[in-house]
Every structure is written in structure tokens, then in C-alpha cells.
Amino acid sequence: MSYSWGPKMIRIASLILAAVALTMIVIACDNYSHNSIANTPPADYVDLAMSRTYGGLGYDWGSSLVTTEDDEYIITGSTTSNGYGDNTVYLARAASNGDLVWSTYFGGWGEDCGSDLTLTSDGFIVIAGVSSSWDLIENVKIDPNSGKTPDDYNFYLIKTNMAGLPLWEKAYGDTGYVEWGTSVAVSPTGYLVVGYQHKSEAEEDFFFIKTDTGGNELWRKVHETDNVDRAYSVIRTSDGNFVAAGYSTAAGGGLPRPYLVKVDDNGNVVWERVVGNMTSSERIFEIIETSDGGIAGVGTALPASSAVTALYVLKTDGNGQQQWANAYAQSGIVEGRSILENPDGSLIVCGQNAGQNAIQVAKLNAGGNLLWADSSGVAGFGMSVSPCEAGYVITGSTTYPDHRLLNDVLLIKVVEDLTNVE
């Protein structure tokens, strides 16, 4: 079967629920798990401490960020303001006040997007994403003067030092399929990149590639079903294994359902779980390991009782058994993109408020009750949240990142206003 999937199409497909929801006003819907929402919180729970934009004359957005030990911020994403192709991987470092320390980009003649980044314990930056700039057979970037045209999209992995200077960059995948890299986790022996392999409109599979610290491929695994399965996030758990999460249409009458797969360091499956609510459409975009050894995930849900999407948060134990799962229309978030855990076990999530066209932040307690939700007051789409000194930093874009409106990389810092906390 022939097909022509570009990053624009895949981004729109993977975020289609948010694109629809941005045209709607969020309405209240019932929580459908055994945990009740404590209240419908008022606003004014966070104060905006900083807001910065970075970019050029093209389409620029942030996909992921981490906070360094000295409270600076490393951001990756994509840009069309620099580079050769339609998209180029963007990497930047910002000071705690938002001043840009440096920025750079990576890619080639095709399309290259940065999806996720992490810091290694020995002081390096590792970025995962997708690239069509490589000749996988020759294992080299396509020379723009060679006459070759960009081919399918494959996993892309980049390693730099903390100044953004590259140590290496490599692409991985199967020449017969599209592979979209979404997330990366670090282990003592190297890096595990996950995403999904597109085989047809009716079949996509979790795709894993493990490399050593030099980027040399150690193994690859395709976790297959006869349905659409997309992995969006991977973490290394405290027992030394990995959990990848996304969604599957393998159960629930073909509706998307949260899908978790745990593998060991050699890619052998430890367990797999399809969780969530049988009558709802639910997708997970990011997971974390919680302090109790369980897993918390954030995404979006379309409950059967509602006509619009809402923030969705899932909690499991360490074996992937569901403890609770809630949809939160009261949060004002139509799509949750990122999650973190505070020292007290509470959870912070970020996403987009369609009604206000602004980045929205919400806080849940450890049992899944919504404590508060508040707009940052900054127009844009929030893609990734990280803790920082006295608050939280969020990256994303000034508009929905789909190449229909010019946008810039956005970095904001919000601080919890404790005067309104009950």
C-alpha cells in the first residue's frame, strides 16, 4: 500500500481531538470513576511569574522541557524558521528568568521534529523525535545535491552536551514503514526510544528501539496487534524496567483506550494492560512513576455522556492495575499533555483551555480529586510542564502547532497562589 504521511498530517492525526475541541466551549460532564471530584474550583490559584517567546518568521513550538540543577530550562521542539527542510529540530536553553542562553537546531533536507528530551546523569541532553532526512540503508543524511528526495519518517535520536553541541545524531527504523518517535528514557546501558510504526490506516504498533550510549542500536521490538496502537510516552521504572503508554483500539468496541506495556532491558514484555472505561474514548500522552511505585498518566477523554473532550488522568499500581481514572470537564482543560508529581503526592497537569484560548493548569490530590484549576492567562497550547524553584515552567506554542497560524516557542512560569487553597 502506498501512502504519503508527513509530520503535518501525523501531528494533526495524533492531536485531532484537541483540534476539534478548540472550536468548542467546554461543558460540564460527569466523572465516571469511583473517585468523586471534590468541588468545582474557582480561578486565581496560580500567578504568572514569567512569559517568554522564542522563534523566527516561521512555525516554532516547544514539545518538551526539563529543569536543570541550576534552575535553567532545556527545551526541544520544532522550527521552520531555521534549517533546510520544512521542519527542523529545535533545542534551546533558557535562564531561570526566561532569557535565552543559547538555541540551535538539527536536521537535514527532509522534515525533522523534536518530540521529547531528557538529561543523563553524566550531563548530556538526549532528544527523541522523527526525521525523513536520512538514508537508512546507507545510514547517512541525504545530501541535498544528490538528487534523492526525502523518504519515509523514522525514529531520530540526538545527543548533545549541555551547551547544545552535538555528539552524534542517528536515525532508526524500517525502510518499508513510517516510524514516529515520541519519547525517550535513559538507562545505565543506553537509551530506549518509543513511538509507533504505521503499517496501514487500520494498523499501527508500539515500536521500541534500544541503543547504547553511543547511539548504536542494540535491539528493536514491535509490539503488534491488529489494531491502531500508538505509544506516546516511556519511563524507566525504579525496578530497572520500562513502561510505555499510549492508546489501543484493541478493546472497547474499537474506541481508543489507555494501553500500558512494561518491558525489561532486553525488550521482553513483563506485562501489558488495556485500562480505562469501556464506553469512553481515552488517550494517554504522558506518564510518570509516582512515589508509591505506581504510574500516573495524563491525556484526553471523550466520555459517552459528553459531546466534547476533557482532561483525563489515570492512576495504576506498579503492576499496571487501575486504581482510578477520571475525566475532568470542570478543569477547563480539553486535552492534558503533561503531568508531574509534587513531594506531597499531589499531581500537576497542564493543557489547553479552549474557552479562554489559554494554557491551563490543574492540581489533583493523590486520590484523583480535583483541587483547583486555573488559567495561566497566556494564550497558547501547553505541551510540557516541569518543576522549578517556587513553581512550575511550561513550554508549548503561542497557537495550536499545526502550521495554520504562525506561532513561536512559548515558555511560561507559574507560581501557586496559596491564599486561595482551602
pLDDT in tens, 304-359: 777 889 999 999 999 999 999 999 999 999 999 999 999 999 999 999 887 778 99
Cα Rg, the chain, nearest whole Å: 20
Residue 263 belongs to some domain of the structure: yes
Residues 6+ apart with CB under 8 A from 292: 317, 345
Confidence band, pLDDT 50/70/90 cuts, at residue 38: very low
pLDDT score of 40 more than 50:
no
pLDDT score of 65 more than 80:
yes
pLDDT score of 41 more than 60:
no
Tell me what percent of the residues of the chain surpass a pLDDT of 90: 71
Confidence band, pLDDT 50/70/90 cuts, at residue 185: very high
Burial 237-250 (b: 16+ CB within 10 A, else e): beeebbbbbbbbbe
Sign of CA dihedral 245, 375, 72, 76: positive
Alpha helix ranges (H) inside 188-275: none
CA end-to-end span of the chain: 58
* Other Cβ atoms within 10 Å of 252 Cβ, number: 17
d(CA 84, CA 92): 18
d(CA 195, CA 183): 7
Closest CA to 407 of 10, 9, 80, 129: 80
Residue 411 contacts residue 391 (beta carbons within 8 Å): no
At 357-389, the pLDDT tens digits run 899 999 999 999 999 999 999 999 999 999 999
pLDDT score of 169 more than 80:
yes
pLDDT score of 422 more than 60:
no
d(CA 263, CA 241): 6
* Other Cβ atoms within 10 Å of 389 Cβ, number: 11
pLDDT score of 30 more than 60:
no
Confidence band, pLDDT 50/70/90 cuts, at residue 418: confident
By the 10 Å C-beta count (0-12 exposed, 13-18 middle, 19+ buried), 371 is classed as middle
d(CA 292, CA 271): 19
What cell was used for 59? 512555525
What cell was used for 261? 506495556
Residue 161: give the domain boundaries: 7-420
The confidence score (pLDDT) of residue 85 equals: 66
The confidence score (pLDDT) of residue 208 equals: 98
pLDDT score of 5 more than 60:
no
Helix or strand holding residue 230 (H, E): strand 229-236
Q: How far is CA 217 from the centre of its chain?
A: 23
The rounded mean pLDDT for the chain is 87
Residue 111 belongs to some domain of the structure: yes
CATH number at residue 33: 2.120.10.30
Confidence band, pLDDT 50/70/90 cuts, at residue 176: confident
DSSP E strand stretches across 267-331? 269-274, 281-289, 295-302, 310-316, 322-328
At 259-295, the pLDDT tens digits run 999 999 999 999 999 998 877 899 999 999 999 999 9
The confidence score (pLDDT) of residue 44 equals: 82
d(CA 304, CA 250): 18
Residue 114 contacts residue 64 (beta carbons within 8 Å): yes
The confidence score (pLDDT) of residue 227 equals: 87
The confidence score (pLDDT) of residue 75 equals: 98
Strands 335-341 and 88-94: unpaired
Of the segments 7-16, 128-137, 290-299, 403-412, which one has the largest average pLDDT value?
Answer: 290-299
Please work out, in degrees rounded to the nearest 5, the angle formed at the alpha carbon of residue 176 by the alpha carbons of 170 and 178: 60
pLDDT score of 37 more than 70:
no
Helix or strand holding residue 11 (H, E): helix 7-14
Residue 200 belongs to some domain of the structure: yes
Average pLDDT over residues 136-158: 84
Please work out, in degrees rounded to the nearest 5, the angle formed at the alpha carbon of residue 296 by the alpha carbons of 419 and 287: 110
Residue 110 belongs to some domain of the structure: yes
Tell me what percent of the residues of the chain surpass a pLDDT of 70: 87
Torsion angle, alpha carbons of 237, 267, 220, 6, to 10: -50
Residue 393 belongs to some domain of the structure: yes
pLDDT score of 15 more than 50:
no
At 196-240, the pLDDT tens digits run 999 887 789 999 999 999 999 999 999 987 789 999 999 999 999
What cell was used for 117? 528530551
d(CA 93, CA 237): 27
pLDDT score of 21 more than 90:
no
The confidence score (pLDDT) of residue 252 equals: 61
Closest CA to 351 of 363, 343, 368: 363
Closest CA to 397 of 93, 18, 11, 54: 54
Residue 1 belongs to some domain of the structure: no
Phi, psi of 415 (to 5 degrees): -125, 135
Model pTM score: 0.88
Domain count, the chain: 1
Average pLDDT over residues 17-37: 33
d(CA 377, CA 43): 11
